[in-house]
Amino acid sequence: MKLVQKTKISAAALALLSLSALSTGFLEVTPAFAKDTQQRPAVLNASAVAVADKYAADAAEQIFKEGGNAVDAAVAIAFSLAVTYPEAGNIGGGGFMTLYVNGKPYFLDYRERAPLAATRTMYLDDKGNVIPGKSLFGYDAVGVPGTVEGMWEAQKRFGKLPWKKVLAPAIAYARDGFVVDEQLAKRRDDAAKDFAGKTNFDEYFGNLKEGVTFKQPDLANVLTRIANQGAKDFYDGKTADLIAASMKGHGLITKRDLQEYKAVWRQPVEAKWNGYEIITAPPPSSGGVGLVQLLKMKAMLAPQFKDVPLNSPQYIHLIAEIEKRVFADRAQYLGDPDFYKVPVAQLTDDAYLAKRVAEVDPDKPSDTKSVQPGLGTSMPEKAETTHFSVVDKWGNAVSNTYTINGYFGSGVVVPGAGIVLNDEMDDFASKPGVPNMFGVVGSDANAIAPKKRPLSSMTPTILTKDGKVALVIGTPGGSRIFTSVFQVINNNYDFNMPLKEAVAAMRFHHQLLPPNTIFWEPYQPIDGELAKQVEAKGYVLKGQDFNGDIQAIRINGDTPDAVSDPRGRGVSRLIQ
Ligand code: GLY
């Protein structure tokens, strides 16, 4: 478990690292970097959070009251959600953190990686067909988790409080329990049906029912060890032993996989838009590239959008035309940048996007096959992830999306540890190199390889203006993530809707395949007259069975406005 630093480490920081390591020889007190956080005067009149549940909001409030900053609060939230939002919060998965600290942007990739023993064809049968469910349920579906390493690196680099303090709320929730709400109980019941007979899920979550106080003593012990020993426990200590033992005879992850896991500080995707600086997720997420393409193409199509009402049939058509091109690029070019050279600069270049925009047909859907590169994404992506947004009164911000992929991940719970393991391997292309329904070959960028990270759509995003944080935003939703973030930004800035309304407004989605299909959410279906008019334009309408869950904070002057999506059980809060 080592840190890979893609930006420069100063000589002083390196000296500190080696001196500290020499003098202590103990991971917990060995910072990976010199702390970049200095005490600065407050620039906002409150800190703020928008998070997926009230327990995490309480944890953040506690951390701020103890003098913590946005990174301390973010790490406390991540560990809390691993306990109280177990369907998506996690220590058995991975994610991305976009940060703005002391006026500088950062991005931390703690995405899961394929185990060393993974192979390109591991989910195919003898005839070369995908084995249904193998990348979704059980031990074979699990990627090497990155969340603990990610939180450790972020907090050590930028946090102000002792590591143990940020773990304390999560340990209390796991040890003393929390009250299960209706949404969580329903998600458990739905997931349990998928896992029945395949995993040990019910041994740990069989008693998770609405209204009960749910305790997780094994998980409390794991979190206590992580509090005492740092990430070392998870990757090279007792918890690593428990994970490796659970895999023996069932799955691919070994102790060596855990020992070799690396979080990576990467350059975020940065772009100028509408007077703002967008700071968002680079590959192995497709989300940041997709978001920038959407925002820029919409701005370039201003004449076509003039006087077109929000969410009208013509608006839905024009956005779908843009999305069609974004998803064509996604399928062809996006993957883990450590394995595949992703042309981020070209894909977000103004001249390139102007050419793409020129292909948009303002009157009718472009023929799907004509949209090149149009390899499509034939794999349905899991949508269940979770996001939180944090700002502190010093003007620092954290936008964090993390996931175990489907609700309750693979359904495997590590015996003796209570850790729900992800099914992130499903985000790889299980069958690359085989012609798809259009007779074209693709997805090699996202083929399975040992230590490779699967392609993601997570889009934790921060907008700044004149060096100050303006908006912090993200959501779960699989391939809907960046089209949802785009729509909320657009509602808020282009249509001047207050953030609360911008988040609550109807959202829709198109992704090249299935051809000319517009998806709507259960929260606000496209029906009635609107549906008839969209269909008359040549589209098929399809309801999806999940909603997004935007968590956003906009800064107005020196006051944060924090909003949690009415679609979820999230809580937003200002903390003095
Ligand atoms: N597993 C969902 C994503 O990474 O986008």
pLDDT tens, position by position, 310-327? 999 999 999 999 999 999
Residues 356-364, mean pLDDT to the nearest whole number: 95
SS3 (DSSP) at 197: coil
Atom of ligand 1 nearest to the CA of 383: 2
- What residues does ligand 1 touch, defined as CB less than 6 Å away? 382, 385, 403, 405, 427, 456-458, 478
Q: From the CA of 142, how far away is ligand 1's center (Å)?
A: 13
Atom of ligand 1 nearest to the CA of 479: 5
Specify the range with the lowest mean pLDDT, choosing from 379-383, 399-403, 572-576. 379-383
Tokens of 303: 């004449």
Q: Are 71 and 163 in contact (CB under 8 A)?
A: no
Residues 350-363, mean pLDDT to the nearest whole number: 95
Atom of ligand 1 nearest to the CA of 481: 5
Residue 370: CB atoms within 10 A of its CB come to 10
Work out the percent of the chain whose per-residue pLDDT is above 70: 89
Q: Are 384 and 407 in contact (CB under 8 A)?
A: yes
Q: Cα–Cα distance between 475 and 552 in angstroms, integer? A: 9
DSSP-assigned beta bridge partners for residue 104: 101
End-to-end CA distance of the chain: 37
Q: What is the DSSP string of 475-486?
A: ---GGGHHHHHH
Global confidence as pTM: 0.92
SS3 (DSSP) at 493: helix
Query: Ligand 1, atom 3: nearest CA belongs to which residue?
Result: 456
Q: Cα–Cα distance between 575 and 48 in angstroms, integer? A: 6
Q: From the CA of 194, how far away is ligand 1's center (Å)?
A: 19
Atom of ligand 1 nearest to the CA of 405: 1
CA-angle at 266, arms to 465 and 89, nearest 5°: 85
Query: Ligand 1, atom 1: nearest CA belongs to which residue?
Result: 405
Residue partners of 189: CB distance under 8 A and separation at least 6: none
Q: What is the DSSP string of 308-337?
A: PPTTSHHHHHHHHHHHHHHHHHHHHH-S-T
Q: Are 512 and 376 in contact (CB under 8 A)?
A: yes
pLDDT tens, position by position, 503-536: 999 999 999 888 999 999 999 999 999 999 999 9
Residue partners of 212: CB distance under 8 A and separation at least 6: 179, 180
Q: What is the DSSP string of 285-309?
A: BSHHHHHHHHHHHHHHTHHHHTTPP
- Which of the given ranges, 14-23, 290-299, 377-386, has the highest pLDDT on average? 290-299
* pLDDT(136) > 80: yes
Positive or negative CA dihedral for 437, 442, 443, 449?
positive
Specify the range with the lowest mean pLDDT, choosing from 143-152, 190-199, 365-374. 365-374
Q: From the CA of 403, how far away is ligand 1's center (Å)?
A: 7
Average pLDDT along the chain: 90
Q: From the CA of 12, how far away is ligand 1's center (Å)?
A: 37
* pLDDT(137) > 60: yes
Query: Ligand 1, atom 4: nearest CA belongs to which residue?
Result: 456
Residues designated as active site: 385
Instruction: Specify the pLDDT at position 432.
Output: 63
Q: Are 109 and 416 in contact (CB under 8 A)?
A: no
SS (H, E, C) 410-464: CCCECCCCCCECCCHHHHCECCCCCCCCCCCCCCHHHECCCCCCCCECCCCEEEE
pLDDT tens, position by position, 51-76: 999 999 999 999 999 999 999 999 99
pLDDT band at residue 26 under the 50/70/90 scheme: very low
Q: Are 541 and 521 in contact (CB under 8 A)?
A: no
Q: Cα–Cα distance between 94 and 404 in angstroms, integer? A: 7
Q: From the CA of 427, how far away is ligand 1's center (Å)?
A: 7
Atom of ligand 1 nearest to the CA of 111: 4
pLDDT band at residue 10 under the 50/70/90 scheme: very low
Query: Ligand 1, atom 2: nearest CA belongs to which residue?
Result: 478
Q: From the CA of 183, how far away is ligand 1's center (Å)?
A: 21
